[in-house]
Structure 1
Amino acid sequence: MRRHLLPSILAAAAGLAAGWLVAHAPSSSTAESGPASGKSVTAPARHRTDGPEAPPARDFTSYAKRAARPLEQEEAEAAAARMSTGELREVLLAAPDIVWGRCTPEDYLLHIAADAAAAELFRREGVVSIEWAEGAGKKAANAALLKAGCAADPAAAKPHMQFFAETYGYELGWSFAGAALNAAALRNVNDLLQVEKLWSGGGFDYVPGFAADFDFPTYLARTGEPRMKETALAAWAARDPDAALAAFREGIAKDQHWTDAAWKIFNSRATLTSEEEAARWLCPALTGAPDPARSMAIANLGSDLAPSRVAALMENLPEDRDRLSLALGAMRSDMSGGKSSLATLQALPGEELKVQALAKACSGGRDSPYWLRSGSAEDRRARLVPLMDQLQISEAGRQRLLSAIPAG
């Protein structure tokens, strides 16, 4: 690889690297010309302003824009667009095979630069570029172009995954499917559904962003990926909370698989507003759901409970049975019976609910957390007594709880 390209490539990729890598990137923004094309291959300099940067806007439109094309990606793509085809191939041939536990900052930047170069080369040449990489015998170049191809034209690029797997192994296989999925979600619903068909049964569960005008109702009606429904619903809740909540309400009434979506849409709403507003928004839809979906969804909210979230949910869940479901869900997620369990139990109003929650937890049934059902009866008593002390349970309540522990 020609030495004149390296500083420019590193400069173009620096913004895409993690914060700890940025210090290693060249600071000069002086353009260099490549002899093959006479064009500058340096990324445009960033605009600097005095004072702290304004925080990113917390709304769906801004989120979609950042997910689709971060500023750093724009810069890297602009640098790649100014390179000749020969220079793009040089960048790809110089890309290292990343071993993540031993990755140097320079290698990481070259890896990121290769992704931008691959996207540009595939744009110019299509599948021919993947065939070139296959003939070149360079794993990193082949991987970068296969990812670029799957993102831009998955139907044409996917057959080339077989060559890669037979030559280099399968450890990167799902990164190609992921590239196709992420790019399709940023285009439109039909492209995303087509990618899911191409990788039928792939078990997809996440994409970082959807197009600003993405057709969520059509997607939720047609996708065959249950976990992707949750991700799409959370994004929809950021753009149109009322419509998303109506879809959740309808879905959970028919299919208890929607219960896992509860905490995702809660997180989405809380991120844009507050824990209190998210609880006021979601709780009526949860309490209107039929059992067992209702108790399962509320218990799932207990899997990620900060103190502020506990208080907001306890206040807005209108029935004690819902508060018990929340507490038991938190206790099951807390594998050691630590601070999360204690904080949630303390948030239950009154001793009676605390005793009921602990009695169910000690019963050995499906509501029991592992730390209160494992070991001998004596082991479980030893774990329960300090918790009762911290909750200041009365003597009568203590006797009820100790007698609730199954013998053996």
Structure 2
Amino acid sequence: WRCGICHKSCCCEECLEPEPTQEAGTRTQEEGEDEGTSEDNFAGEVVGQIGAVFADIERKVAEEKRAWRICFNRFKPETHGRCSHCGAEGGPGRWEERNLYEVVEHMVKPICAQLRVSYVELLRRGPEGEEMEGVKPDTFVSHWWGEEFPKFVRTLTCFAEARSRRLPWTVCTTPHRNPKTWAFWICAFANNQYAIEHALGDFSSDVTPRTAVMTSAFATALDAVSDVVAVLDDRAIIYTRIWCCFELFSVARLIPERDLAEFLKPRDLTKIAMSSATPLSQAARRRILADLNRLQEEPIPLAAAAPCSDADLSLWNGVIGTQMEVTHLGCVTVPLHFLIDFPCDYPLSAPNIGFSFEFQYRGGASYVQRDGRLKGKLVICLDVLGKGKELEIFIADESGVVSSGCGNVGMMNALIDKVKTAEAEASNPDDKAMIESAMLADGTTSE
């Protein structure tokens, strides 16, 4: 039971004393207990949801006979009279599972107390003291510690399952990834809770606050990940926390510009192989390499395209940097992704283009494909060279499957530039759906 005034859980003496037959952490699923059926065995419930990562914490809790479970006395007037934290008399409140504040206080800090390091650093040291290799995080988690921890875990589990099926920049080129290998950066476990001031940045007298905050562990982690997930509770407390607001600002302002700059870097053409998944003619291979060289020599501002991998010439990644006005953030550069699939007789036949997002196209004809691989997909036509020669552009989901093209193509620079122009014409300020589609995290779920 959590107080409706101060939102803290009960800490009465009865609840702090362990019961001899129901010590926290002594029963696990392996011993026949169903997941999530015991209110008092919270440590065991955490293990059932998170897996082996918390197995050592549960063991530590069991060794110290630390009672760590939901209050059985339920903060009510007839039993407690008033909240043991804020003094409010029994009244409004609600059932909640333990939050991350309590996870850190009762589980993370005790097990890290001897070495006074972060929980991640503790795991890296290994059971025998040897140094283990760390894991590069995939996703930064923006959240607040007051959310119920089991719900927090379930939310990230759902995110990993959906996100592993929709990897950006590798659409149609890599198999689905095992969601259990998805790595999250979570401040409670990554930062040293015994030296938390070091994670907040360099606030010495000769450093401006703006510079200081960009040296924080949060900014450093944001610069290292590929994407960010914001975890919302039912009260959306995340938007009232200053560090969460900083993280969300950084996502909208910094990460797109970083990703775009990284993608626009020139490729080493000497490593590009002549092989491809599509059986290209010799003329097509020569033409594709010539187009790639031209794009390197004559880059298009805020746009680029290159093979998805050095081993395949026939499938390219493309990106367009779009300037968008976003409330409270001003002008933000957002990278929008698409795929280019070359036919075997290119350039006699146009390549096929599939976007990883949707927008309303107002510059020409559009239709929905009724059959074939693109059944149900919206198709729009672009006049690539302005001479009545049309190229089919498919607004597809991130499966990246695209249709057969039509028409001739003069050069890849003209195609990329035309795609960029068509997208710009579609992205007027009233097109809120496009902006939301472009900026929302891919694969997030309602939970």
Same fold (TM over 0.5): no
Q: Which has the higher contact order (CA 8 A, sep 6+)?
A: 2
- Compare the two structures and name the one with the higher strand fraction: 2
- Compare the two structures and name the one with the higher helix fraction: 1
TM-score, length basis structure 2:
0.29
